[in-house]
Amino acid sequence: MKGRILVTGGAGYIGSHTAVELQNAGYEVIILDNLSNSNAEVIDGIERITGIRPAFVKMDLQDKEALRQLFEDYPGIKGVINFAASKAVGESVKKPLLYYRNNLVTILNLLDLMPDYGVEALVFSSSCTVYGQPDILPVTEEAPIKPALSPYGNTKQICEEIITDTIHAGAPFKSILLRYFNPVGAHPSAEIGELPLGVPQNLLPYVTQTAMGIREKLSVFGDDYDTPDGSCIRDYIHVVDLAKAHVKAVDRMLNGESADAVEIFNLGTGKGVSVLELIKTFEESTGVKLNYEIVGRREGDITKVWADPEKANKVLGWTATETLADTLTSAWKWQQHLREKGIM
């Protein structure tokens, strides 16, 4: 065993895939989750994939005393990966206080208690949303932070600042801030994947639900952008690749390899893919025809963003390896699994 890692939000989409990769790498995983946007059966999926059942504590990370009790019950936690957060951009505009409270109180509780229990490392889930529409593409970690377009995006910027300020003030742990581009896909076993509640807001769940006949038609939000085919461009990264980067980040901090107490890495493939290209690749790789129509632009969407992942490649020793076709196929396989199970 390499040591105990607390994965907050570990029953969620990216958290569950990361729990799998941590266990594959020999870490002992403790999952904390309030199940507000996930399901306890995910723990069974992690066990089926890895053969190891992670410890699971159902609690709200806003409850500081419950967090203290968790650290008492599981002594020797070496690292924390914080996925526990609300993440729907549109909802955050309607319910800003919910987002500020949930996403900020939770990080404050962790930062308060980590030193009391000797935790050495914190990985924080941030987002390329902090760059807004970058002036230069691909976007590096040096690109300026732009004013946030939503309370959700603002919480990511504020959390990055809170962590950085706390460490610069002498907190006895290190942190790595990971800026994700667009995580998509599912574990190839189809045991775990993304489970959006209600009507999906993100592209790929909408694509797979339309392919399954759950949604009648996919709306492509705009074909009059300044891009080769007019639709928006993003950097879609397979969630398993993304999960593996978290293991690298934890290894780096616990092995004393960090160059600075706070480090930032972009996690993307380095390739920009338009909405229409994604649809075409989905149709070609799954053999399923997608019903879609072009509609007007969605408010708040940026035109194009993709990562310069060179720092993560060279410094973290991590590279995204999955192809877009395999990534989209994994998402489709997961959607079929949900149908077979009668979930969706």
Closest distance to ligand UD1 from the beta carbon of 153 (Å): 6
Q: Which two tokens stand for residue 46?
A: 């992690």
Among 126, 182, 269, 327, binds ligand UD1 (CB under 6 A): 182
Using CB under 6 A as the binding rule, whether residue 324 contacts ligand UD1 is answered as no
Residue with Cβ nearer ligand UD1 (23 or 154): 154
Q: By C-alpha distance, which of 44, 1, 14 is closest to 181? A: 14
Contact between 271 and ligand UD1 per CB under 6 A:
no
Residue 127 engages ligand UD1 in binding (rule: CB under 6 A): yes
Contact 127, 180 (CB under 8 A): yes
Nearest to 85 by CA among 141, 163, 32: 32
Residue 21 and residue 242: Cα distance in Å, rounded? 10
- Write out the DSSP string of 8-70: ETTTSHHHHHHHHHHHHTT-EEEEEE--SSS-THHHHHHHHHHS-PPEEEE--TT-HHHHHHH
Q: Which residue in 120, 42, 110, 107 sits closest to 70, CA to CA?
A: 110
At closest approach, how far in Å is the CB of 191 from ligand UD1?
22
**87 lies in the site for ligand UD1, by CB under 6 A:** yes
Q: State the minimum distance, in angstroms, from the CB of residue 58 to ligand UD1.
A: 24
Closest CA to 198 of 214, 219, 221, 181: 214
CB of residue 299 to ligand UD1, shortest distance in Å: 10
| Residue 301 lies near ligand UD1 (rule: CB under 6 A) | yes
User: Is residue 177 a contact residue for ligand UD1 (CB under 6 A)?
Assistant: no
Q: Which of the stretches 31-39, 66-74, 195-203, 250-258 binds ligand UD1 when contact is defined by CB under 6 A?
A: 195-203
38 near ligand UD1, judged by CB under 6 A: no
Cα→Cα distances 174→168, 324, 339, Å: 10, 33, 43
Q: Is 152 a catalytic residue?
A: yes
Is residue 275 near ligand UD1 by the rule CB under 6 A?
Answer: yes
Candidates 17, 179, 234, 337: give the one binding ligand UD1 (CB under 6 A).
Answer: 234
CB 86 within 8 A of CB 61: no
- The alpha carbons of the chain give a radius of gyration, in whole angstroms, of 19
Q: Is the bond preceding residue 138 a cis peptide, omega within 30 degrees? A: yes
Among 221, 290, 315, 344, binds ligand UD1 (CB under 6 A): 221
The count of residues interacting with ligand UD1 (CB under 6 A) is 21
Q: Of 290 and 302, which has the nearer Cβ to ligand UD1?
A: 302
- What residue type is 291 in one-letter code? N
CB nearer ligand UD1, residue 18 or residue 150 = 150
Query: Which residue out of 131, 152, 180, 206 is catalytically annotated?
Result: 152
CA distances from 158 to 10, 131, 151, 320 (A): 22, 13, 10, 27
Structure tokens at 244: 């593996």
Tell whether residue 280 is a contact of ligand UD1 (CB under 6 A): no
Interface with ligand UD1 (CB under 6 A), residue from 16, 129, 154, 175: 129
Q: Does 328 bind ligand UD1 (CB under 6 A)?
A: no
Closer by beta carbon to ligand UD1, 150 or else 175? 150
Q: Which residue has the tokens 């968790």?
A: 70
Chain residues binding ligand UD1 by CB under 6 A are 87, 89, 127, 129, 150, 153, 182, 201-203, 206, 218-221, 232, 234, 275, 298, 301-302
Positions marked active-site: 152
